[in-house]
Amino acid sequence: MLSDSIREHGVLQPITVRKKGRKFIIVMGERRYRASKLAERKTIPCIVMDFKDGEVLEVQIIENLQRKEVEPTEEAEAIAHLSKAYSPGEISKRLGRTENFVRQRLKLAGLIEGFKEFVRIGEMTLSLGIRVALFEPGEQQWMMEALEGNFDAYRVERMVRDKTFDLLEAPFDIGDAKLVEKAGACTECPFNSANQGNLFGEDRIVCTKIACFENKRTNSLLNLIDRCKKDGVLLIPDFQSYWAREGVNQLIISQMENHGFKVYFKNDVEIMSKPVKPTMERIKQVYGDATYSVDGLKEKLSKSLEQYTEELKIFEGSLDNGYRKGIVFHPKSFKVKEALVKVLEVNDKDVGSVSVPLEKRKMADCTPEEQIIKIQDREVRKKQIENNRQFEEVVDMVRQKGYIDVPKELSKDEMVAFSILLYENFVDYMDREEHFEDLFGNSNSTDSGAMAANFRKHFSTEVFQRLVRYSLSKKVHLGESNHTNNPLNICFYQAVKAYFKEDVKNMEDTYDKERRIRERKLKGRIKSLKDTF
């Protein structure tokens, strides 16, 4: 105890006092003063300072903050008090801390009491607490009520994620001050995390004002529609016609129709994207994990350039083959991509004034031309039924023949099929654009045969590895299942440590340090409680 140390060694650091009348009032060192009394010391060294009344509290707060292991929410409230008189930069100088640290603590002070308690007892990390504090108290209260009294970091992370937007992925120019004039540019906005001390990390710029972001995104769509109409460019929503009834898609369709735009869906057109010229940097990114030498990578680049030249020639000649300039627009991300578009021919011949659809009319009620159409449609349908039956019989046969236990390595076609399974089920739209744009070549045709042929043409072992690693990184179990109690997580964790050994170790050390600090605090609290027995 401190009193025992003082009894043996005396007071090593003088306390600070100020004179008021004939008395001296302790400014800093009350704990040392009380311990000295318990140690039965008659005197205690002190330094007399001349403080004004308004300065005393400030000095006491600063002295308290300079102690080791100050509880974060207590620290946040103290810094918030200092912010009434000083800027974050001035506070950082007085405390000997970075300005970003001060801004984070100021934001943490905005947590409602329920979340502060989760931080105090160590259930909620500081980084998550700071992100929750970005929201107004009413929003925080809603999040707290959604937890129903039981803290769940995964649910809170998801709520924060659903209420924030990554400005680096915004479908509009974040420096445009005229998109929503009342809001101004995102780069100057106080709801931009970069203007609040990089609370999400140096590499992230996050918007925390949902309504404003949605307004800007909607305005960017309206501007896009106007521009396409003016330039005669086809605007293609990135969904099939059978998804047109979904709420978000309906809104987009109505906006296009209100502006006099004819709506084509992806199944109404063929889309050809402009091929991207390969670079050595891109080749290294794609094949970097494989055991390729410098010469091997150069050979890969050479072949990719040959393929690019061939695809570019096809692309540039497509305007003479019924293609028009177009833009493909994704309804969820609002991301756009320039492409060439060809509207598929639709047999919409005039069938007179008859209102009954052709497929519902009897053969005897149709003209000879219509009868031919019906006969051809029936034959197409019969082939589809036969193909379905044939495929089902083949699948049933291989299941019975023990295909799963065939003692051979996977063939290329099996790896291609499995890669497409991973691609269709695990890779979302944005990541398809970023990581796997090259898999289907330069065509987004809805022809399944062409898509399969393109995939097979661009397939390699490296593609298979990329899809497997992508799927693992996206589909491991988060939340209560961690890397010590789930077989998939355990194996994945061990696997990535081989590639990112130093990074993983640094993270492990950080968490170990936080755990040790929390455990010491808990032991102290438990001991205090036991002492009351």
pLDDT digits 0-9 by tens, 78-109? 788 778 777 888 888 777 778 877 888 888 88
User: Comparing C-alpha atoms, which of 487, 507, 488 is closest to residue 497?
Assistant: 507
Question: What are the DSSP E strand ranges found in 309-381?
Answer: 324-329, 336-343
Please determine, for residue 519, whether its predicted confidence score (pLDDT) is greater than 80.
yes
Instruction: Please list, in sequence order, all residues whose beta carbon lies within 8 angstroms of the beta carbon of residue 105, skipping any fewer than 6 positions away.
Output: 72, 75, 76, 79, 80
- pLDDT above 70 covers what percent of the chain? 87
Q: 466-512, pLDDT tens digit by residue?
A: 888 888 888 887 766 677 878 888 888 888 888 888 888 888 888 88
Please list the alpha-helical segments (H only) found in 329-460: 368-400, 412-426, 429-435, 448-458
Confidence (pLDDT) at 67: 58
176 pLDDT band, cuts 50/70/90, is very high
Q: What is the mean pLDDT of the chain?
A: 80
Q: What is the domain partition of the chain in residue ranges?
A: 232-343, 358-405, 412-497
Most confident of 166-175, 369-378, 448-457: 166-175
For residue 23, the surrounding DSSP H or E stretch is strand 23-28
Sheet bearing 269-273, strands edge to edge: 234-237, 324-329, 336-343, 269-273
CA–chain centroid gap for 378, Å, is: 48
Confidence (pLDDT) at 65: 57
Give the 3-state DSSP-derived string for 496-526, with helices as H, strands as E and coil as C.
HHCCCHHHHHHHHHHHHHHHHHHHHHHHHHH
Confidence (pLDDT) at 203: 61
Contact yes or no for 101/75 (Cβ under 8 A): no
Query: Would you call 213 exposed, middle or buried from its count of C-beta atoms within 10 A (0-12, 13-18, 19+)?
Result: buried
Please determine, for residue 349, whether its predicted confidence score (pLDDT) is greater than 50.
no
Instruction: Please list, in sequence order, all residues whose beta carbon lies within 8 angstroms of the beta carbon of residue 442, skipping any fewer than 6 positions away.
Output: 272, 273, 274, 275, 311, 314, 315
pTM here is 0.51
